[in-house]
Amino acid sequence: MKLDQIDNRLLELLQEDSKKTTKEYALKLGLSTTAIYERIKRLERGGAIRSYVALVDKAIVNRNFTVFCHVKLVQHVKDNIAQFEAQVMRLQEVVECHHLSGDYDYLLKIHVQDMDAYRNFMVNKLTTMNHIGSTQSSFTIKEVKHSTAIPL
């Protein structure tokens, strides 16, 4: 999919706020509403825009405790990896899971209510999983920056 400068600027705007009217985007980008409308549809069809979502305030819904957990597997055989990843997918507390280069295998990002809830998560969910060698958790003291916008 080929994107020109206007597409990129449009994506930046949509990543900031997707609830503006096409008229507003059109105004900012100096095109008609129809032109913008068709560009947006093209970006959706082409997969550049994956979805539209509401971003929720962690503090207000009581999930203000963020943990990064490095996980090492006991053995890196194909089946272990597949099984671990499948299990992680099912844990809703885990909002991100990255297979990483370096000393540890995986980095998980976890949102829970508080330290108690995290202990609970560790004991009842994470450490009951198969093939896990070791884990190491770090807690977010302060979320300095957090954006869902891919830099363009």
Q: Describe the crossing of helices 5-16 and 33-45 by its angle, rounded to 10 degrees.
A: 80
Report the amino acid identity of residue 132: I
What single-letter DSSP state applies at residue 151? Answer: P
Binding mask 7-26 for DNA (x = CB under 7 A): --------------xxx--x
d(CA 92, CA 94): 5
Q: What's the min distance (Å) between Cβ of 9 and DNA?
A: 11
Contact yes or no for 63/117 (Cβ under 8 A)? no
Q: What's the min distance (Å) between Cβ of 51 and DNA?
A: 15
Residue 3, interface with DNA (CB under 7 A)?
Answer: no
- Going by C-beta distance under 8 Å and a sequence separation of 6 or more, which residues neighbour residue 96? 107, 108, 109
Q: Which of 12, 28, 32, 114 binds DNA (CB under 7 A)?
A: 32
- Single out the segment in contact with its own copies by CB under 8 A; choices: 26-34, 72-80, 126-134, 138-146: 138-146
Residue 73 touches which of DNA, its own copies, none (CB < 5 to 8 A by kind)?
none
Length of the chain: 152
Residue 31, interface with DNA (CB under 7 A)?
Answer: yes
Please give the structure tokens belonging to residue 21: 């009217």
Rule CB under 8 A: which residues touch its own copies? 1, 3, 8, 11, 14-19, 46-58, 60-61, 63, 66, 68, 85, 88-89, 92-102, 104, 106-107, 111-112, 136, 138-152
